[in-house]
């Protein structure tokens, strides 16, 4: 039996963005296939968030092109956003709404009728184990609950691509585990591609199958976590991260740092 | 789920469903925010009491008829058409910035035009509520009925609505460019119009150096026309025509302005101010 051709959900080429005299992104190319799980990594100031915002059409690149699920930005932005879900751990929901109302509104923006939207919201909340939050005011959510509700919002329309900016930042390990499990379920069950930024390299290795490291606004490495670690001569992604951040730490020092955590 | 999905993915270029969703979003906020009811209930009530009482006092002191009171009341009531249509759209947009919801909205299929139309429709709802308040207050306390202006009221209200929306586009453009420091303009812009448009008085009563500015405002011609109608004169269609043309030109310019500011907002990455 022939393997069906793999579709491309995201294609970005030659992305350039400068703010004043600072070149934040300098010629980034990124292609993501249907169902692929990719991490966009790099130290602070590497250009991750700017790249994400350009991929989402929220920031206009100085040069380059972005195609999302076959829709060219910026012209096809509305149609493209119908194929993409976005979650950021730092983004709150409208605070004067109940969770159910806020999600119902987003369902409306994705084109669901009121009745279909409410049904999709109820199903989504149950799917991620947060059905009990439906009548909670958004302003009362903890950061972990907000992230889980954010994922419910992002997958309402069964997107082809889920973009997550720091989804587990500042979450307790148990909540981070629930978020990761939920995302892996979405990827496995819906065939949704993931594009994740994170500073947690352990999480990245568990959640994704490919990492793209940015440094100085350019792609410094692209491959599986093991390939990238090997290419930089480190045992894991944390070593690569520190290397690209300009802080070279010997592997035995990393092992020393890991020892108390593992013992604990 | 398949049918749900297919209906969700069938996205027309302009969606009234998304427009209705914007209206619903702001209706929820209004319902949950008692301070927002000040725009609809408290300020209109205070304005009618203030200007109605002032008119009654002046008429009493001058031992004259109460002829001045209807002019003051009609002026402030029509000013509320402008104020409500402008402030609903401007504060609606500001609500997205205050609740840091802008990036959430920008990453959905919602189009800018749908958002603006949704805010305008929501604004009409607020306007109807506020006008009901001012009409009831004016009728109850001063026995004044704005309907005495007659059918000429229809183009007058229409022109004021368009000017209010145009002003709100200018305010949103400035908010996109300058962020929260431009918020004060949402209120200041309508009060600038209030003072320069001769809401209660003819242009000749405005200081001479400011009169040329007053004359180019479409609102000046609208308020003048309303006074003519109240005085029982025939509808000054030429004045209303000039006002309508001015309002359309202002609306077109404001759309160009906000479109350019939105492009600049995306180009300079200002969305990060609200995330």
Is residue A43 predicted with pLDDT exceeding 90?
Answer: no
Please name which of B49, B33, B134 lies closest in space to residue B84, comparing C-alpha atoms: B134
Q: Which residues of chain B make contact with A107, given a CB cutoff of 8 A?
A: 8
| pLDDT confidence tier of residue B37, bands split at 50, 70 and 90 | confident
Distance between the two ends of chain A, CA-based, in angstroms?
A: 49
Percent of residues, chain B, with pLDDT higher than 90: 63
CB–CB of B11 and A82 under 8 A?
yes
Q: What is the mean pLDDT of residues A209-221?
A: 92
User: Poorest-confidence range of B62-76, B95-109, B151-165?
Assistant: B62-76
A177-211 pLDDT, tens per residue? 888 888 898 899 889 999 999 888 888 888 999 99
Cα–Cα distance between A162 and A188 in angstroms, integer?
Answer: 13
B201-249 pLDDT, tens per residue? 889 999 999 999 999 999 999 999 999 998 888 889 999 999 999 999 9
Cα–Cα distance between A115 and A102 in angstroms, integer?
Answer: 14
Is residue A258 predicted with pLDDT exceeding 70?
Answer: no
B135-144 pLDDT, tens per residue? 999 999 989 9
pLDDT value for A259? 55
Look over chain A and give the mean of its residue pLDDT values, rounded to a whole number: 87
Kindly tell me the burial class for residue A45, based on how many C-beta atoms sit within 10 Å of its own C-beta (0-12, 13-18, 19 or more): middle
Q: CA–CA distance from A215 to each of A16, A42, A85 (Å)?
A: 14, 6, 26
Question: A25: alpha, beta or left, given left = phi > 0 and alpha = psi -120 to 50?
Answer: beta
Nearest CA in chain A to B96: A94
A11-23 pLDDT, tens per residue? 999 999 999 888 9
A105-120 pLDDT, tens per residue? 999 999 999 999 999 9
CA distance A40 to chain B (A): 19
B118-175 pLDDT, tens per residue? 999 999 999 999 999 999 999 999 899 988 888 889 999 999 999 999 999 999 999 9
- Is B62 part of the contact surface with chain A (CB cutoff 8 Å)? no
DSSP B40: I
- The ipTM value here is 0.86
Three-state secondary structure call for residue B143:
coil
Cβ B75 vs Cβ B226: under 8 Å: yes
Q: What is the mean pLDDT of residues B2-27?
A: 73
Cβ A96 vs Cβ B32: under 8 Å: yes
Cα–Cα distance between B247 and B160 in angstroms, integer?
Answer: 8
Q: Give the bridge partners for A219, in sequence order.
A: A214
pLDDT value for A240? 80
A165-187 in b/e form (b: 16+ CB < 10 A) is bbbbbebeeebbebbbebbeebb
Please name which of B8, B1, B107 lies closest in space to residue A123, comparing C-alpha atoms: B1
Is residue B72 predicted with pLDDT exceeding 50?
Answer: yes
CB–CB of B7 and A91 under 8 A?
no
pLDDT value for A23? 92
Report the residue of B104, B118, B176 to disrupt the A interface, i.e. the one with the largest count of A CBs within 10 Å.
Answer: B104
| pLDDT confidence tier of residue B3, bands split at 50, 70 and 90 | very low
Number of residues assigned to chain B: 275
CB–CB of B109 and A90 under 8 A?
no
Nearest CA in chain B to A58: B266
Cα–Cα distance between B275 and B271 in angstroms, integer?
Answer: 7
pLDDT value for A171? 78
- Is A129 part of the contact surface with chain B (CB cutoff 8 Å)? no
């Amino acid at each position: 039996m022939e393997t069906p051709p793999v579709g491309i959900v995201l294609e970005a080429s030659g992305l350039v963005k400068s703010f004043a005299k600072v070149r934040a992104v300098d010629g980034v190319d990124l292609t993501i296939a249907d169902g692929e799980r990719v991490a966009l990594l790099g130290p602070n100031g590497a250009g991750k968030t700017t790249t994400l915002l350009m991929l989402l059409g929220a920031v206009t690149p100085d040069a380059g092109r972005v195609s999302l699920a076959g829709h060219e930005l910026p012209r096809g932005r509305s149609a493209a956003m119908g194929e993409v879900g976005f979650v950021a751990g730092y983004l709150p929901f409208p605070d004067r709404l109940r969770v159910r109302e806020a999600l119902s509104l987003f369902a409306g923006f994705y084109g669901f009728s009121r009745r279909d939207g409410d049904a999709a919201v109820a199903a989504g909340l149950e799917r991620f184990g947060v059905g009990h939050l439906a009548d909670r005011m958004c302003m009362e959510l903890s950061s972990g609950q907000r992230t889980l509700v954010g994922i419910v919002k992002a997958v309402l329309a069964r997107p082809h691509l889920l973009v997550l900016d720091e989804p587990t930042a500042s979450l307790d390990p148990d909540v981070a585990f629930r978020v990761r499990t939920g995302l892996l379920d979405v990827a496995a069950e819906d065939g949704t591609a993931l594009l994740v930024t994170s500073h947690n390299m352990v999480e990245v290795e568990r959640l994704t199958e490919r990492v793209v490291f940015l440094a100085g606004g350019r792609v410094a490495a692209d491959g599986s976590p093991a390939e990238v670690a090997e290419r930089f001569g480190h045992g894991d992604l944390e070593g690569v991260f520190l290397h690209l951040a300009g802080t070279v730490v010997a592997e035995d020092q990393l092992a020393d740092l890991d020892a108390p955590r593992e013992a604990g | 789920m398949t049918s749900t999905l297919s209906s969700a993915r069938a996205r027309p270029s302009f969606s009234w469903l998304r427009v209705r969703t914007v209206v619903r979003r702001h209706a929820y906020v209004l319902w949950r925010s008692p301070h927002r009811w000040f725009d609809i209930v408290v300020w209109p009530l205070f304005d009618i009491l203030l200007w109605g009482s002032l008119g009654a006092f002046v008429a009493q002191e001058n031992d004259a008829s109460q002829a001045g009171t209807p002019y003051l009341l009609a002026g402030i009531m029509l000013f509320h058409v402008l104020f409500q249509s402008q402030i609903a759209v401007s504060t609606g947009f500001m609500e997205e910035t205050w609740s840091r919801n802008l990036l959430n909205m920008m990453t959905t299929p919602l189009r800018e035009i749908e958002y603006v139309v949704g805010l305008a429709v929501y604004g009409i709802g607020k306007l109807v509520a506020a006008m009901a308040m001012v009409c009831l207050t004016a009728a109850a306390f001063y026995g004044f009925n704005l309907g005495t202006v007659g059918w000429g009221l229809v183009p007058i209200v229409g022109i004021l609505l368009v000017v209010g929306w145009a002003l709100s586009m200018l305010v949103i453009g400035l908010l996109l460019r300058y962020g929260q420091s431009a918020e004060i303009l949402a209120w200041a812009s309508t009060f600038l119009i209030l003072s320069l448009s001769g809401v209660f008085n003819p242009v000749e009563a405005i200081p001479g150096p400011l009169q040329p500015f007053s004359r180019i405002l479409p609102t000046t011609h609208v308020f003048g026309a309303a006074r003519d109608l109240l005085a029982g004169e025939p509808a000054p269609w030429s004045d209303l025509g000039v006002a309508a043309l001015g309002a359309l030109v202002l609306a077109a310019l404001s759309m160009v302005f906000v479109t350019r500011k939105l492009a600049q907002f995306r180009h300079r990455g200002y969305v990060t101010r609200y995330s």
